[in-house]
Amino acid sequence: MDEIKRTSGPQTMDGRRWEVQLSDTPSRDWLGYFKEFSAEVLPQRVEFDRAAIAFKSDEAQVAHWVETIDRWIASTNAKHRAALELGHRARFDRFEAEEKERDRIRGLNERFKNL
């Protein structure tokens, strides 16, 4: 999965609820990491709708919200990327261990085939 990025500035229909578009719809795992960074305000102030984030703010705080959301997105991308790399490494290590065991079994079978 590519990193999620904000692709638009904030838009509003009523001056209270704002929305920014994202480059893709976040995965469930990605959303979980995002919620870790934004746990204090997420339930009340930030909502995801497919490839968009909506937040409630008065006009004076919109820039602050966008900056904060950008930081949360960057931190989430880093954490998600690290988790994916860790999972990839674990699968590789497991495959390598299985291959080593298969080689050991082949060696044992070869060693004792003439008994």
Q: Does 96 score more than 90 pLDDT?
A: no
* pLDDT at res. 64: 93
Q: Is this structure's pTM higher than 0.75? A: no
Please enumerate in sequence order all residues whose Cβ is within 8 A of that of 76, keeping only pairs 6 or more positions apart, or say none: 4, 30, 33, 34, 37
Domain boundaries, the chain: 11-111
Q: What is the pLDDT of residues 44-86, one digit of tens each?
A: 578 899 999 999 999 999 999 999 999 999 999 999 999 988 8
Q: Does 43 score more than 60 pLDDT?
A: no
4 burial (CB, 10 Å; 0-12 / 13-18 / 19+) is buried
Q: What is the pLDDT of residues 16-30, one digit of tens each?
A: 999 999 999 999 999
For the chain, helix (H) and strand (E) counts, in that order, are 3, 4
* Nearest alpha-carbon partner for 20 in 81, 79, 57: 57
